[in-house]
Amino acid sequence: MSRNALEAEENAGDMDAVSTANTSEVAAEHFEVLIVGAGISGIAGAYHLTHQCSDFSFVVLESKDTFGGTWVTHRYPGIRSDSDLYTFGYRFKPWISAPIATAAEILKYMGEVIEENSLARHIRYRHLITSASWSSGDNRWTIEATKLDTGESARFTANFLWMCQGYYRHSEGYTPPWRGIERFKGRIVHPQQWPEDLDYAGKRLIVIGSGATAATLIPAIAKDCSHVIMLQRSPTFFRTGRNAIEIADELRKLQVEEAWIHEIVRRKILYEQSVFTQRSFTEPEEVKQELLAGVRAYLGPDYPIDRDFTPSYRPWRQRIAFVPDGDFLQAIATGKVSVVTDEIENFTETGIELKSGELLEADLIVTATGFNLNVLGDIDFTIDGEPLGFSDTVTYRGMMFTGIPNMVWVFGYFRASWTLRADLVADFVCRLLTHMKLTGARRVTVQLRPEDKDMPLLPWIDPENFNPGYMIRGMHLLPKRGAKPEWQHTQDYWSEKDEFPTIDLAGPEFRLCLITRVVRRRRSGTSLHQLRGLDLSVW
């Protein structure tokens, strides 16, 4: 074994080391934890590591040239959150403005978190991770990245991989393969790649889609366009309400500390959301009628709500977009925006021909048709030289996966703010890392227990429960879910917030490998092969 390789191996036995080792032609920098992505989840990870695991070395690798992920990628007019920032914001940093926030406000908030906690020194921008290889011999990941500014390769090794890469491909949104799309003479734009120079003033627009993106974009551009048609295949549920939280404003008047206001408002929102979510299962018809009444209040009794705003699915099977102050509906009420519910037959040179035979004319078409699911950041994963079959794994609580050592993935909530889960998962990771350090464990994998042997394995998410298009399209790429709550992403913040802190890390679903003994025995002359054969029996 070469001296450098030996050094690298010795360093592997020292969890605290931040080292540089020449594994081959590219020098590898070693960190105990490597976070993929500097979006809201990756920054949560960095914050919690510095506060709960302050003696761990870590790095955040991000392909973009700044933090923010989703809130940098999406630059279309009006871009904003559709959940409130009291819960989409972190639990540790008070949100002090109106609940629905623009991308710019979210980025400012994240920038403050980075600044106030000196996180910038841990983040490497313009680093696109291309591969991650796990070696059971070394109990570490080797991560290959490309520095996007110079084109150089960079190599990192890490004991633990914290996947905060989000769930969709940032480089390109999803556009269905419509017939004749190439015939259209005007411009076709996906909101995920909104061109800075796009001139829509005085133009006739068709916005295809009826999700949160369409409902956000349309009120922001309608006043400048000649006319906007929102073309939807089927209707979506919307929730309306003021972009204000009364109790927060009251408490501010009383000069209550912002940290208290944050916590009180979070609890209130979470309580109300839990009641609403429960009701959408137990009394879907009442919830549906309430949502429709909210829409009718803006569009009036004569509007064909049944045709354009009454989905065939029950509430919460898809994310329900919040429309602050009904702005999207107000734009329809002014006559500047019309809604067409029909299917596309063909694109023509001047617009779209519908299945009904109707022709829609446009100068510009916006395809607000969603995302391409991207499960692991387009990173090639191998485990001991074998390509990872991610869809063959079974998920442990939607964050770990059978057969993938030392890796956690942050996949947030759809019925509650994503960040609630980023904070919860971060607490779990920090507890796991601390436990591993204290017990000398170098590797952790999850495994099905004997009692799980006959458990049915199902697709990642139950389409009857939640079925957005990108999930259904990409389901075959996602890990399996078991029939028990611990073997699935339950999408239930209200139970996970109590269950996660009590997860027993010594439970039979965790295999912890106490590799420190390997190092000791190796130093005493036993061969690596023999030791691996022993597997140290301390799983």
What residues line the site for ligand FAD (CB under 6 A)?
A: 36-42, 61-64, 69-70, 74, 81-83, 88, 128-129, 164-166, 170, 213, 377-379, 410, 412, 417-418
Nearer to ligand FAD among residue 470 and residue 510 (C-beta): 470
Min CB(40)–ligand FAD separation in Å: 4
Q: Which is nearer to ligand FAD, 35 or 206 (CB)?
A: 35
**Pairwise CA distance, residues 68 & 316, whole Å:** 27
The CB-of-29 to ligand FAD minimum distance in angstroms stands at 15
User: How far, in Å, CA of 286 to CA of 284, rounded?
Assistant: 6
Q: Which is nearer to ligand FAD, 63 or 402 (CB)?
A: 63
> Which residues, in sequence order, are CB contacts of 177 under 8 Å at separation 6+?
none
Smaller CB separation from ligand FAD, 196 or 451: 196
Q: Would you say 34 or 352 has its CB closer to ligand FAD?
A: 34
Considering the complex, what minimum distance in angstroms separates the CB of residue 47 from ligand FAD?
Answer: 12
- Residue written as token pair 């870590």: 58
CA 240 to chain centre: 24
Shortest gap between Cβ of 66 and ligand FAD (angstroms)?
Answer: 9
Of 33 and 251, CB closest to ligand FAD: 33
Which alpha helices (H) appear in 283-393, and where do they start and end? Answer: 284-299, 305-308, 327-333
The encoded tokens of residue 486 equal 């611990």
Strand order across the beta sheet in which 364-367 lies: 187-189, 364-367, 204-208, 227-232, 337-341
Cβ at position 462, least distance to ligand FAD in Å? 20
Measure CA of the first residue to CA of the last residue in the chain; give whole Å. Answer: 28
Task: Supply the minimum distance, in Å, between the C-beta of residue 500 and ligand FAD.
Answer: 17
For residue 284, with 0-12 CB atoms within 10 Å meaning exposed, 13-18 middle and 19 or more buried, which class applies? middle
Are 113 and 95 in contact, with CB atoms under 8 Å apart?
no
The C-alpha atoms of residue 163 and residue 301 are separated, in whole angstroms, by 49
Tokens representing 129?
């991770």
Q: Which helix (H) or strand (E) holds 163?
A: strand 153-163
Nearest-approach distance from CB 269 to ligand FAD, in angstroms: 12
Question: Smaller CB distance to ligand FAD: residue 53 or 72?
Answer: 72
